[in-house]
Amino acid sequence: MTTQSTQQFSRDFGGRTLQMETGRVAGLADGAVTLRYGDTVILATVVVGKEPREGVDFFPLLVDYEERLYAAGKISGSRWVKREGRPSENAILTARLIDRPLRPLFPKTFRNDVQVIVTILAFDGQNDPDVLAIVAASTALLQTNAPFTGPIAAARVGLVDGEFVLNPTRDQMEKSTLDLVVAGTPDRVMMLEAGMSEIEESKIEEAIQFAQASFGPLIDLQHEVAAATKRPPAQPLAKPITTTFDDVLVAVKETIADRLPAAVILTDRVKRQAFLAELGAEVATKFEGKYKQAELKNAVTVLFEKEIRRAILEDNIRPDGRAIDEVRPLGIEVDILPRVHGSALFSRGETQVLSIVTLGAPGDEQMIETMEEETTKRFMHHYNFPPFSVGEVRPMRGASRRDVGHGALVERALTPILPERDAFPYTVRVVSEVLSSNGSSSMGSTCGSMLALLAAGVPVKGFVAGIAMGLVTNREPSTEAGKPSTMKSYKVLTDLQGLEDFSGDMDFKVAGTDKGVTAIQLDIKIDGLTKEIIHDTFEKARVGRLFIRDKMMAVIPGPRPELSEFAPRITALKIAVEKIGELIGPGGKVINKIIADCGGKEVLTIDIEDDGIVTVSSHDAEAALKAIEMIKGVTSDVEVGKIYTGEVKAIQRDRMTGKEIGAIVQLTPKHDGMIHISQVSTERIEKVSDILHVGDKIPVLVKEVDKERGRISLSYRDALGVSPDKTE
């Protein structure tokens, strides 16, 4: 362990001080930085493997984002498990947020393990750790001997009352119509992630540039920290496993280069794969014993990808024969499945997604407990990507990080157009099953989910469609360390497919309506995008998105007027807040009795909100109506002069003589009243039981309510002579 003195560095960032400290903790890590912003404190550490990992054909970067409940002064609400468990959805999404802008800044041939761990030590409830984590991780990487070509900065931009806000607090974000995270440098964008309320593309471009204007001081700060604290490696990194690959590439190119253009223009994927397999077998036989088989296989792939890029840039030829700005053939169907509340099948080329909507009661909302918040979520989108969708065999181990990320992207895209809870009190869950994938399955899920919502009759406020845009560039690497490459030419591709994703430089997903964008997500493989490329992409994405939307609207132009017959019917009513306790009753006695009397939990559910909104959900209209009447009875005060239908519960007797003097009638689950014998009949009677019996349901008129003594006087005699329109 190298002993270092504690050093502190700081800059102004969005009107608050961002402070970095290094040298105090995590001395055995290759890089370690503690960052404080407000009272939010995070620790970013990096460890770099000393030897390349054998047998991998990718850069093994692992990013972990560790939420700690103690950071927010919390103990887990679980009765049985008090320590942190598997990462929350927010932690998974944040880990992806950190990974995506860092990964392109390493050489593609680097094979040493690199692990970045960001641990949240303190959270002040206002300053989100996610963008800070990107800055801290970039700084910690600079301290190591890894071939990282950063640094990069990151910021969140909000839009409050028409004005951009840099790194808005949580209170400000509640009023914001934009949640945009930008990572990069002052002149290049490395990553975008955003959800928003139908904002025009030009406004988003302004927001991106607003964020980039703040990056300079953060970049300078990271260079300052790295210059003062770069840690000497325990031993030099081994050379990457690339010593012979250049020779392999030259040899393979001489053998198959003249036949690669024919492979690119083969639009049938099966035939193309067979053709490439033949080329691979040929070079494997020719160079057997001279080069490693893995290197030969990789060389064929690299050369094929280079030919795809050349064909696009020079000949305007895409692998499936489309024009640069052409959308693949679309397939749009709704009502695919019986009994489910809404379903749709959306196809775009070979990508096919089945989306299914389920409508539930308010009580079906997801409970969320994380370091940052304890809340509920009424709209959920879940994305499944089974191995058969890409013709593979692999174990199914639950949702991957990618599945979680894609599901959240669709959720952000559709949330702005969902009806308000007051108008549509349902909990909504959409599941997208990817049945076949050849690029842009997340945007296929967006379109499929939109169609399924319409088929389910959800009264949405807009019509969302999504599209993924690709990029192929011709770049000249910079000769100056730390400087980005020079962009000589580029082509933006509409509706990205798999081959173009693997061999291209960008996956830029844009979802929105005709009014504006609702969600974006940008991943790149190069050292940044210029504002010209971003502008060009937004414009082409808008055209493609609206083309797809029009095709969808031709099949189902709006939400069905009625919900599915299999969806529960929900009725909402408002009660006084002070009546909530009475409705629930001691230990839930009153509300549970209402549910039991109306058929039980299998028939209906009742949800009570803190603001007095009570919702009754049931497939049985009669049971729901009965429950509503019982709720009104419990929460409404008995009014003098109104007629109620009540049940005779007992014949009242005089304690001394034992004579019948009246009848006790239950008006509501919480109100009983008494009919005196003189109010039973217009004629004189000796016994109440001559006319009334226990269990009789009779109309009664409320004569008097004595709240102080808790007595209600009733008349059966007078009720019989009152017109029905005055009854309760």
pLDDT in tens, 201-217: 999 999 999 999 999 99
Whether the per-residue pLDDT at 276 is higher than 80: the answer is yes
Using alpha carbons only, give the angle 173, 175, 176 rounded to the nearest 5 degrees. 60
Q: Is the dihedral of CA 385, 391, 397, 400 positive or negative?
A: negative
Residue 237 pLDDT level (bands cut at 50, 70, 90): low
Token pair 């990271």 is found at 222
pLDDT at 240: 52
Which tokens hold the place of 41? 């404190």
pLDDT at 384: 97
The SS3 assignment for 598 reads coil
- Averaged confidence pLDDT in the chain: 91
Contact indicator for 273, 84 with CB cutoff of 8 Å: no
Strands 31-37 and 16-22, sheet pairing:
antiparallel
> Rounded distance, CA 623 to CA 604, Å?
7
Residue 294 pLDDT level (bands cut at 50, 70, 90): confident
Q: What is the 3-state secondary structure (H, E, C) of 635-688?
A: HCCCCCCCEEEEEEEEEEECCCCCCEEEEEEEEECCEEEEEEHHHCCCCCCCCH
Nearest C-alpha neighbor of 575 from the set 617, 608, 622: 608
- Tens digits of residue pLDDT in 448-502: 999 999 999 999 999 999 999 999 999 877 666 667 777 789 999 999 999 999 9
Helix (H) or strand (E) holding 52: strand 40-52
* Candidate from 53-57, 402-406, 530-534 with smallest mean pLDDT: 53-57
Domain 330-555 CATH superfamily: GHMP Kinase, N-terminal domain (3.30.230.70)
Residue 724 pLDDT level (bands cut at 50, 70, 90): very low
- Tens digits of residue pLDDT in 314-348: 999 999 889 999 999 999 999 999 999 999 999 99
Nearest C-alpha neighbor of 383 from the set 294, 301, 448: 448
In degrees and rounded to multiples of 5, residue 571 shows phi and psi of -120, 130
Buried-state track 241-250, b at ≥16 Cβ within 10 A, e below 16: beeebeebbe
Whether the per-residue pLDDT at 582 is higher than 90: the answer is no
> Rounded distance, CA 332 to CA 522, Å?
26
Which residues does 16 contact at the CB level (< 8 Å), separation at least 6? 37, 38, 127, 167
Token pair 């029905």 is found at 724
**Can you give the pTM of this predicted structure?**
0.86
- Tens digits of residue pLDDT in 644-685: 889 999 999 998 888 999 999 998 777 899 999 999 998 889
245-315 adopts what CATH topology? Arc Repressor Mutant, subunit A (1.10.10)
> Rounded distance, CA 154 to CA 171, Å?
20
Token pair 């919900």 is found at 563
- Tens digits of residue pLDDT in 151-200: 999 999 999 999 999 999 999 999 999 999 999 999 999 999 999 999 99
Residue 3 pLDDT level (bands cut at 50, 70, 90): low
| Helix, strand, coil share (%) of the chain residues, nearest 5 | 35, 30, 35
Q: Where are the domains of the chain?
A: 7-229, 245-315, 330-555, 568-636, 639-728
Nearest C-alpha neighbor of 170 from the set 19, 366, 371: 371
Give residue 130's Cα distance to chain centre: 15
Contact indicator for 62, 116 with CB cutoff of 8 Å: yes
What radius of gyration do the chain's Cα atoms show?
Answer: 34
Amino acid in position 349: G
Say if 330-555 and 639-728 have the same CATH topology: no
Which residues does 728 contact at the CB level (< 8 Å), separation at least 6? 639, 642, 643, 644, 645
pLDDT at 726: 42
Tell me the HSE value of 86 on the side-chain side, using a 13 A CA sphere.
6
Mean pLDDT of 350-378: 89
pLDDT at 723: 45
Whether the per-residue pLDDT at 264 is higher than 90: the answer is no
Contact indicator for 67, 95 with CB cutoff of 8 Å: no
7-229 adopts what CATH topology? Ribosomal Protein S5; domain 2 (3.30.230)
Residue 728 pLDDT level (bands cut at 50, 70, 90): very low
* Candidate from 184-198, 432-446, 624-638 with smallest mean pLDDT: 624-638
Contact indicator for 223, 263 with CB cutoff of 8 Å: no
pLDDT at 232: 67
Domain 568-636 CATH superfamily: K Homology domain, type 1 (3.30.1370.10)
* Candidate from 375-389, 399-413, 585-599, 624-638 with smallest mean pLDDT: 624-638
Whether the per-residue pLDDT at 540 is higher than 90: the answer is yes
Mean pLDDT of 357-381: 88
Residue 363: CB atoms within 10 A of its CB come to: 13
pLDDT at 242: 47
Whether the per-residue pLDDT at 78 is higher than 90: the answer is no
**For the packed helices 201-212 and 531-555, what is the interaxial angle rounded to 10 degrees?**
150
pLDDT at 1: 45
Query: How large a percentage of the chain has pLDDT more than 70?
Result: 96
Domain 639-728 CATH superfamily: Nucleic acid-binding proteins (2.40.50.140)
Verify cis geometry, omega within 30 degrees of 0, for the bond prior to 151. yes
Mean pLDDT of 220-235: 83
pLDDT at 480: 67
Nearest C-alpha neighbor of 37 from the set 109, 112, 124: 124
Helix (H) or strand (E) holding 412: helix 401-414
